[in-house]
Amino acid sequence: MDYIDYYKILELKKDASTEEIKKAYRKLARKHHPDLNPNNAESNKKFQQINEANEVLSDPEKRKKYDKYGKDWQHADQLDAQQEQQRRYQSQSRNGGYSGYSGGFEDGDFSDFFSSMFGGGARSSGRSPFKGQDYNASLNLNLIDAYTTHKQTLTVNGKQVRITIPAGVDNGQKIKLPGYGAPGANNGPPGDLYITFNIAEDPKFTRKGNDIYLQEEIDLYTAILGGEKIVETLNGKVKLKIPAETQPDTTLRLKGKGFPVYKKENHFGDLYVKWQVKLPTNLNADQKELFEKLSKL
């Protein structure tokens, strides 16, 4: 994917602490959340970038790779391995050849062998074909992205790869794209591309498997007398009936209003709405008197 400055996105310095990253993410995620900025394409794009930046910088291992390799951080493991292999081969070459190969390396042999190991283009010389190196990439999504089937374009090793992301993908899920890795050597097949989905936490909705959990406030009077409330879900707004004498933390289940099941059309989890009763504040004298009368009944 194209490189962006994650520190700049979160308005942080490079030595920011874990707590500073967390605070910056929460502040900016609330500001640019799609629910608060409907039909605002720029704000929605910013929200995705904020989630992507938080996904990397809040993870110590990913942040370390990002700080070291910048735009190539997603390939840090491969780059480290290549650098280590190259260092060993150069060291062994200076010391009289590669110990695991009885004949030593001529310049052409070394070039062909090294290219076959790391997916470069080696000249055809009648040797055994080698499959190209596999690539690994991460694709950062927010919860809304993962809810619907859509297409995205990634830039991997200079190539644009357009993929269809099925609704219901899970955080950490990995897919394989055969043949999108490095070219093979000696007419060998190309490697494969493995894409891992990183789905950022949503400030409003909590996903557990295919179920979605949501907390909504109701006032004391509605909790006691009953009423209705319009609630925003991942699939639009719904009007919910609140029974009289609803207790705090009462949970309402909406069947089929949760997350889509991966690659199972028209199958959905459930939505669980927990009512949080908000007590009135700044009561005037008349209101306090009424509560006092109620307490004596």
CA distance 253 to 240: 11
In this structure, the dihedral spanned by the alpha carbons of residues 155, 158, 159 and 164, taken in order and rounded to 10 degrees, is -10
Do the domains at 129-200 and 206-296 have one common CATH topology? yes
Query: In residues, how long is the chain?
Result: 297
- For the cut 70, the answer to whether the pLDDT of residue 85 exceeds it is no
Q: Give pLDDT tens digits for 175-202.
A: 999 998 888 878 889 989 999 999 999 9
Considering the segment(s) 206-296 as one domain, its CATH architecture is Sandwich (2.60)
Q: pTM of the prediction?
A: 0.56
Q: What per-residue confidence (pLDDT) applies to 233?
A: 93
The CATH number for 129-200, chosen from 2.130.10.10, 3.40.50.360, 3.50.50.60, 2.60.260.20, is 2.60.260.20
Asked whether 138 and 196 are in contact (CB, 8 A), the reply is yes
- Write the pLDDT tens digit of every residue in 125-142: 446 787 888 888 888 999
pLDDT tops 80 at residue 266: yes
Q: Which of 271, 278, 287 is nearest to 249 (CA)?
A: 278
22-26, 45-49, 284-288: lowest mean pLDDT where? 45-49
- Dihedral of CA atoms 209, 10, 2, 81 in degrees, nearest 10, equals -80
Give me the residue spans of the domains in the chain: 129-200, 206-296
Per DSSP, what are the bridge partners of residue 151?
164
Highest mean pLDDT among 66-80, 92-106, 230-244: 230-244
Q: For the sheet containing 174-177, what is the strand order? A: 135-141, 193-199, 174-177
Alpha helices in 70-215 (DSSP H): 76-94, 107-118, 143-147
**Average pLDDT of the segment spanning 34-49:** 82
Least confident span in 46-50, 52-56, 156-160, 276-280:
156-160
Average pLDDT, the chain: 83
Report in angstroms the alpha-carbon separations of 80 from 77, 86, 250: 5, 10, 52
